[in-house]
Structure 1
C-alpha cells in the first residue's frame, strides 16, 4: 500500500475520531442550550446557551426607532446599565420593532442582544460615529489600508457568554456607502465588519438576518466555543469582500443552517497573514460547517485561507449546497504564508452551476507588505472529498501546488460531475500535487492515482 493510500485511510479514521471529539466538546454548549423567555417578549421563546435573569428594552433608555435618530449613545448606555447584572444571572437587551440607527457599540459578558421580529439595526453612514480600533496582531496591517481599521458595528473584546439572536430581526450595514468609497480608494482605514468578537469564549450568533455589511459579516477571532446558526446573510454578488462567516484563529466552532448570498466567500476559516500570523501562532481548528446554502458567483462556498499563517486543521464540511458559485471548498495559500492546512474532511455536497468543483492554489499572492519570508512554505496535506454531485460544471478541477512544496494526501471519491455546454477540453489541471481517487467522473488527472479504498 502506498504512502498516499495510507494517508487517505488514516485521514478517514482520524477524522471520525476528531469529529466525535469535536461534538463532545461542543456538546458542553449543547447541554446548556435552553428555551429562554425575557420580559417584554410575551410568550415567545428562543434557544440560547444561557438564559438571563434580567432584561430591558432599548426604549427604556430613550431609544428612537425612526431610522433617522442616532441611537449610538443609547445602545452604549443600555449595555453599560445591564452590565451590572453580569454576576446575577446576566441580562438581555431587547431591540423592538422599528429602525434603530446607530454607530458601533460594544457588548458585555453574560449578555444577550435580542432582535424582535421587524426590528432593524441600521448602521450609521456618518464616519464620525465610527471609532478606530487597533490593528489585529495576526495581520499586522489593515486589509484595506495600512493605517488602521474602523470598529465593527457590533464589537466584543475579552468576553464570556455572549448571545446575539432574535426572531429573525435584521442588521443592515448600509454597505453601499462603504463599497463606493472603497472602490475609489478613499479610505485610510480598513472598512468595518458587521460583527466582530475577539479573545472571547462561549459565543452564539443565531436566528437573525444580516444584510449589506461594509466588509466581512461575522468575524469571531482569537475565540473559542462558538455557535453560528440559522443566519440569513445577504449582499449583492458584486459587493467587495462581503464574506459571510470567517472564524479566524478560533477553536471549537459550529456553523450550521445558514443561507448566504455574498460578493465573496460564503464561509472562510482563517488564521493570520504571513509573518504576522506565523509569529502570533494561533491556529483555527475543530470546526464543523454543515447544512449551508451558498450563492457566490465570483468566490467559494468555503475557502480555507488565504490568511492561514497560524494554521488550519481538523475541519469537517458536510451537507452543503452551492448554487451559481465559483468553487466549492477551496484552499488558498502562497509562498510566505507558512503554517499548514491539514486534516480536512468534506462530504455530501450538492453543487449546481460551478466554475470549479475542486480548486486549490499555491499562488494566492496577496501580502500585507514585502517583508514576508519567501522560505515560509505552507504544508497542505490530508484533504479528503467524498460523496459529491455537481451539475453544470465548467471545469472539474484546478489543483495547483507550489513548486518544491507539493500539496499531498489529496483523496477524492464518489464524485459525479455533469459538464456544462461551456465545458473545457482540459477538465483536470493538476500541478505539484499528489493523491488518489476512486469512482470519480470525469476521470481525474494522473497525479490523483485511481485506487480502490475504503470511505
Structure 2
C-alpha cells in the first residue's frame, strides 16, 4: 500500500451536524448547519483538529467548504445530498492551468464539497454516501443550457495531507474527485457510481498533483474511471505544474470510456505513474494514454502491470490526436513528448480490437515497451510514429515495435 504517505489522524474533539441544527429528513436544507459547523472548526482550533459527525439520515445541502485539520465522518446510513437548485450555486474562478471553465468560457461552479489551500483533511466514515444529484446538471449539458462549467463532487485545490476513504460517491454533476495543485493525497476504499450515460462523470482525476495514492476502489461511471491530468494547452504550459508520483492499484470498474487514462490535458507534464492490479469490465478502452498537438508537456515513465479486462471495445490506446482545445490561441507546434511507457502482464477476454499506438509525425512516441500481453483478438494492432519493443504479445503488435528475439 502507498497509503502511508498521509497518516490517519484520530481527532479527540468531535461535534455532530445535529449540534448545529442539522436535520436528516431529506427535505430540510442544511447549508447553514454545514457552514456553521465548519466555521466552528476553523475558528475554535482544537489541538489535533475536529471530527464532524454526520449521523444516519439524508442531509440536503448547498455546496460548502471544508477547513484544515478536520474529519468529515459519515456514519453508516448517512447521506449528504446536493440540492438541485442550480440558480444559487456559487461560482469560482477558472483554474489557471485551464484558463477557462473546462466546458464553458469564464468561471466555473464550485464543487459540492470544496477545499482550497487546506492541509490535514479527512473524508471518511462507515460507507455513508455523498450524492451529487447530478441528473439536473446532465440534462442542462444535454440541452446545451449550461451557463458555466458543471461542479465537481469533491475538489481539493492547493491542498496537502488529504485522505478520502470508506465513502460512496454517487451521481456527480461532473468529475467526482478532483485533487488539483495538491500533494500527499490518499484515496482508498471508495465506491464511485454514476449512470453509464452520464456525461463527464470521471471517477478520480489527479490534476497537476504529486504523491497521490489511489487504491482498493470500485468505480462505475459514464467516463474515465481514473484520469491523470495536468492542464490544458497554452494555459497548462504556462502554469507548468506536472502530475507526478501517482500510484493506482486494485481498482475494479466499468465505463463506456477508459479504465485507466493519462490525459488528454497533460500540458504541465505527467511522470512517474504506476498502475497495477486493475480489473476492467464492459469498457470502451482499457488503458488509454491520450494527448494532442497544442498540448506540449510530456508523458513519461508510466508503468501499467497486471490488468484483466473483459468485454472491451479496445484494449490499449496510446494516441496523439485526442481532445479539444480551450480556444484558438493554442500553439499547433507545441507537441507533447511521450516516452518510457511500459505495459506488461495484461490479459483480455472479448476484446474487439487489441490496440493502437499512434504518435505524432514530428514527435514520435518512443520507448513504448509491451510484454506478456494477451488480448485474444483477431483484428490487428494499428501503429504509426512509434518505436519500442514487444515481447510475448498476442495478437502480435506492429513491426515498429522490435522483438528482442530478432
Superposition TM-score, scaled by structure 1 size: 0.87
1:12-50 CA-to-partner distances (Å, cap 9, x unmatched) read xxxxxxxxxx95xx6453xx3xxxxxxxxxxxxxxxx21
SS of the equivalent of 1:81 reads: helix
Counterpart position of 2:237: 278
SS of the equivalent of 1:326 reads: strand
1:435 to 388, 393, 399: 388
Counterpart position of 1:446: 399
> What is the rounded CA distance, in whole Å, between the counterparts of 2:167 and 2:258 in structure 1?
23
Counterpart position of 2:294: 336
Per-residue deviation, 1:358: 1.3
Moved more, 207-216 or 444-453: 444-453
The size of the alignment, in residue pairs, is 406
SS of the equivalent of 1:287 reads: strand
1:192 to 151, 154, 171: 151
2:102 to 119, 143, 146: 143
1:75 to 34, 38, 46: 34
> What is the rounded CA distance, in whole Å, between the counterparts of 1:88 and 1:416 in structure 2?
54
Counterpart position of 2:320: 362
SS of the equivalent of 1:385 reads: strand
Counterpart position of 1:259: 218
Counterpart position of 1:36: none
Per-residue deviation, 1:82: 1.8
1:341, 1:381 within 8 Å by CA — same for their partners in 2? yes
2:75, 2:126 within 8 Å by CA — same for their partners in 1? yes
**Does 1:380 pair with 2:338?**
yes
Counterpart position of 1:55: 14
> What is the rounded CA distance, in whole Å, between the counterparts of 1:396 and 1:55 in structure 2?
53
> What is the rounded CA distance, in whole Å, between the counterparts of 1:434 and 1:330 in structure 2?
18
* Cα distance, 1:365–1:63 mapped onto 2, change above 3 Å: closer
1:283-310 CA-to-partner distances (Å, cap 9, x unmatched) read 000000000002012x111110001000
Counterpart position of 1:45: none
Alignment of 1:216-235 (within 5 A): 216-235=175-194
Per-residue deviation, 1:365: 4.0
2:5, 2:186 within 8 Å by CA — same for their partners in 1? no
1:335, 1:365 within 8 Å by CA — same for their partners in 2? no
1:404-445 CA-to-partner distances (Å, cap 9, x unmatched) read 2111110000111223xxx54xx2110111110001111111
1:171-230 CA-to-partner distances (Å, cap 9, x unmatched) read 111111000011111011100000000101100001000010000000000000000000
Structure with the higher fraction of residues in strand conformation: 2
> What is the rounded CA distance, in whole Å, between the counterparts of 2:98 and 2:160 in structure 1?
21
1:114-155 CA-to-partner distances (Å, cap 9, x unmatched) read 000000111001123410011100000111210211110000
Per-residue deviation, 1:69: 1.1
1:224, 1:252 within 8 Å by CA — same for their partners in 2? yes
**Does 1:321 pair with 2:285?**
no
2:220, 2:254 within 8 Å by CA — same for their partners in 1? yes
* Cα distance, 1:28–1:195 mapped onto 2, change above 3 Å: closer
**Does 1:415 pair with 2:373?**
yes
**Does 1:211 pair with 2:170?**
yes
1:51-105 CA-to-partner distances (Å, cap 9, x unmatched) read 1121111111001111111111110001101223435120010011111001110
Counterpart position of 1:112: 71
SS of the equivalent of 2:144 reads: coil
Per-residue deviation, 1:452: 4.9
1:353-381 CA-to-partner distances (Å, cap 9, x unmatched) read 11111101111140000000111100000
> What is the rounded CA distance, in whole Å, between the counterparts of 1:96 and 1:129 in structure 2?
27
1:348 to 287, 306, 310: 306
SS of the equivalent of 1:381 reads: strand
Counterpart position of 2:120: 161
Counterpart position of 1:302: 260
**Does 1:130 pair with 2:89?**
yes
> What is the rounded CA distance, in whole Å, between the counterparts of 2:126 and 2:161 in structure 1?
21
1:85, 1:91 within 8 Å by CA — same for their partners in 2? no
SS of the equivalent of 1:114 reads: strand
> What is the rounded CA distance, in whole Å, between the counterparts of 1:373 and 1:51 in structure 2?
49
**Does 1:290 pair with 2:249?**
yes
> What is the rounded CA distance, in whole Å, between the counterparts of 1:442 and 1:303 in structure 2?
22
1:215-261 CA-to-partner distances (Å, cap 9, x unmatched) read 00000000000000001000111110000000000010000001000
Ranges in structure 2 where 5+ consecutive residues have no aligned partner? none
> What is the rounded CA distance, in whole Å, between the counterparts of 2:48 and 2:156 in structure 1?
21
